[in-house]
Amino acid sequence: MTEPGIDAPDKYDPNLAIDKWLRVWEDKHLFEADGLVDAGTAGQDDARPRSCVVSMYPYPSGDLHMGHAEVYSISDVIARYLRLRGDNVLNPIGWDSFGLPAENAALKRDLDPSTWTYANIEVQAESFRRLGVSFDWRTRLHTSDADYYRWNQWLFLRLLEKGIAYRKSAPVNWCPVDKTVLANEQVVQGKCERCGSTVQQRDLTQWFFRTTQYAQRLLDDMAQLEGNWPSEILAMQRNWIGRSTGAYVDFAVEGRAEPVRVFTTRPDTIFGATFFVVAADAPLAAELCAPENRAEFEAYRDKVRTETEIDRLAADRPKTGVPLGRHALNPVTGQQIPIYAADYVLATYGTGAVMAVPAHDQRDLDFAKAMGLPVVAVLDTGEDDPATTGVATAGDGTLVNSGRFDGLAKADAIEAVTADLQERGAGERAVIYRLRDWLVSRQRYWGTPIPIIHCPSCGEVPVPDDQLPVRLPETGYELRSADGASPLESATEWAAVDCPSCGGAARRDTDTMDTFVDSSWYFLRYPDPTYTGGPFNPEGVARWFPVAEYIGGKEHATGHLMYARFMTKVLHDLGMVGFTEPFAKLTNQGQVIMNGRSMSKSLGNLVNLQEQLGLYGPDAVRVTMLFAGPPDEDIDWADVSPTGAVKWLARIWRLAGDLTTPDATDGDGELRQQTHRLVDEITTLFETRRLNVAVARLMELTSLLRKACDSGAGPADPAVHEGMSALLRMLSCFAPFTADEAWSRLGLPSSVIEHGWPEADPALVFQQTVVCAVQVAGKVRDRLTVATDITETDLRDLALNSEKIVKDLAGRAVLKVIVRAPNLVNIVPAKA
């Protein structure tokens, strides 16, 4: 075997120079942002614009995989580009290191979650280094460190003070066999992922954050993001928030002091409300139920409670329900209408009760048919009577059977009826949201302990700030406790504390926080990850945030991104940050797939990153990812060619070796122009993040230079050197190792990335002449080389007098000439 670089000096080895360049970059501190928290720490150069480029931090589930390589390649190219352009760039890294997989791995391997987690973090950190990602390692944080999660607890307490955190009973997924609470992703088609038994809903008292209170602001502030976030993500968030406008209507119920309130988007149809439905699982249903209906109701309700997602997801399931033996008073018709309990009404949306208008709502109509209830059409849409067709009419029309509102158009009627109800105190205009409050309690071990103490006499008592952090117990707990309560229930010694308020015996809250709490603010801690004066250093936050560009997958559209936006607004309201949106710009990256499908062990189509790195080296893997297509599109690894990337990098490397000492000439003018035009174009492509096209242009520049070196200007021509210098500086964003290696082959002082982004000289970019297409009736008939600044009149004359055009026109009259100097002339002739 030959030793690369010794016996085969002209062979490019994609893995040869990695350690060398990693050392050079680290020794020179090239990736460290200047003045992380204040101008005094380093800052000779604080006039530079600051840019904070953040990629969503990884979960340490093992070594890095292809998906990681893509996200961090994209963010790294952007960070490196901005740095070359002269920005003071912060490119931080941390780990989302709490979470369920650590517990599962720990159970499987019989070790503790912490050991597994921190070992993985070390593996990933080293892989990031070897991938050439230009992180500022001083930012490094792990959310599972007590130094981090104590601030989760601190923030929780602030939210509690503001009334944003509160406790209520809510259902959780419960596996009766494993006797444990399951996360949604552990429930597959209503069954426990692990043991396959049917998951039940069980009520537990849990902590929530009032995201609903921020629903309108989350919606309104999207105006700030429009154009800088992908429209798709904004649409998903809009869907998720699900604003709907309408009215609350109060229905008096016999024998009940307070009326029952419903929400409707169609107050105009209230004259057609012939019955009333309450969600069977809502407390209201049990309350309203008449004694003689109780047995039937409870049987129905219990059945509904065992129904889980599987049943709920079944399409077109027949409507079921039971009468509650009570009546409500339709506030406009004065009619007594029967009240039913049914499962098609959701307890958690609106008020958990609806006025049913079967003629104009398909669900109500289906229910009416099943129960034999009357159907009264109150809006004439010109369609057939819903009572006979079984199809509810939801379109536009005119009111009928609606007393004094008859004849009004739908939109006017909505206004008029709402106003009328409001006047009579029977209702009001209302806006409601689909968005729910954020359930933050998790019955898990590996997370942030909730800093609350439950005292038999004082109730819920916050842990005083000076007693934070509430540390996770390292021993004395069972990950899977016998009765399936929170693992921390089993840490009896840990849980037993004295009440901070009365000093009596009390117990800690044994739930931990959703890891989305950790990730809702982590980026703010990056500038000063060991800060002890608060969750984040306000000076650092003021300097670096909002994040200039945030990079990650769109699977986080409605989860993480929503929570981070919410938390930012809360922090803003607490006076802790000066902005209301955390991420000024969002770039999505697609997934890396294989043969048209997501990679998975079971499909046998996994592509191993380390293997790819071994075969092609980090540069080629990065280039392959970025060249494959626009960043937000999925990459099918079967469609791309890492060997093609290696070939290209090798060509550049060889070309650098082929150049000779520059001579004293002015250099090839034509080549200089081409180089500067490409630099100009590539700069725009970087600005607009069309990185795949930028790679293509760099390949083009490579070919130009190869040709010039071999057959034109020659290897000593200064223009060739200039082109090569520009190429390598731009290349360093994509392929930093190769760029530096080739740069040093040219005999230039390392590192290439200290030499800045090439500047295109406008005088060289400008084209003296261009080729103008001359069309006849839209078809190109001639091409003329003309001066770029030719006037429309001159160009028009030139075109009309062109030999080919005269011939093509063959004497036809010219109706019109469109001139778009200097690129195009279109001559419209009369029909022959």
Partner RNA sequence: GCCCCCGUAGCCCAACAGGCAGAGGCAGCCCCCUUAAAAGGGGUCGAGUGCCGGUUCGAAUCCGGUCGGGGGCACCA
Compute the least distance from the CB of residue 162 to RNA, in Å. 26
| Residue 601, marked binder | yes
Put residue 604 in one of left, alpha, beta given phi > 0 → left and psi -120 to 50 → alpha.
left
Compute the least distance from the CB of residue 704 to RNA, in Å. 9
Smaller CB separation from RNA, 347 or 452: 347
Maximal C-alpha separation, the chain: 107
Rounded-to-integer distance, Cα 806 and Cα 813, Å: 11
* φ, ψ dihedrals at 281, nearest 5°: -90, 5
Smaller CB separation from RNA, 697 or 721: 697
Does the N-terminal peptide bond of residue 546 adopt cis geometry, omega within 30 degrees of 0? yes
Compute the least distance from the CB of residue 825 to RNA, in Å. 8
Among 673, 761, 667, 741, CA closest to 709: 667
**One-letter amino acid of 440:** V
Smaller CB separation from RNA, 530 or 703: 703
Mode of pairing for the β-strands spanning 187-188 and 94-95? unpaired
* φ, ψ dihedrals at 143, nearest 5°: -70, -15
Smaller CB separation from RNA, 82 or 345: 345
Compute the least distance from the CB of residue 14 to RNA, in Å. 5
Q: Which two tokens stand for residue 165?
A: 């955190």
Does the N-terminal peptide bond of residue 469 adopt cis geometry, omega within 30 degrees of 0? yes
Compute the least distance from the CB of residue 702 to RNA, in Å. 8
Compute the least distance from the CB of residue 819 to RNA, in Å. 9
Smaller CB separation from RNA, 371 or 491: 371
Q: Residue 811: is it exposed, middle or buried by C-beta count within 10 angstroms (0-12/13-18/19+)? A: exposed
**One-letter amino acid of 510:** T
Q: What is the DSSP string of 144-209?
A: TSHHHHHHHHHHHHHHHHTT-EEEEEEEEEEETTTTEEE-GGGEETTEETTT-PBPEEEEEEEEEE
Is residue 271 a contact partner of residue 403, using CB atoms and an 8 Å limit?
yes
Q: Where are the beta strands (DSSP E) in 595-665?
A: 597-598, 635-636
Rounded-to-integer distance, Cα 209 and Cα 157, Å: 11
Smaller CB separation from RNA, 320 or 750: 320
Partners of 379 in the β-ladder: 399
Compute the least distance from the CB of residue 23 to RNA, in Å. 23
Smaller CB separation from RNA, 25 or 648: 648
Among 584, 757, 762, CA closest to 673: 762
First-to-final CA distance of the chain? 76
Smaller CB separation from RNA, 157 or 328: 328
* φ, ψ dihedrals at 352, nearest 5°: 80, 10
Query: Which secondary-structure segment (H or E) carries 86?
Result: none
Q: Which two tokens stand for residue 417?
A: 């009826």
Compute the least distance from the CB of residue 591 to RNA, in Å. 10
Smaller CB separation from RNA, 13 or 112: 13
136 to 196, 220, 338, 598: CA distances (angstroms): 45, 34, 67, 31
Residue 396 CB neighbours (<10 A): 11
Compute the least distance from the CB of residue 631 to RNA, in Å. 9
Compute the least distance from the CB of residue 669 to RNA, in Å. 20
Smaller CB separation from RNA, 111 or 313: 313
Residue list, annotated binding site for ATP: 601
Residue list, annotated binding site: 601
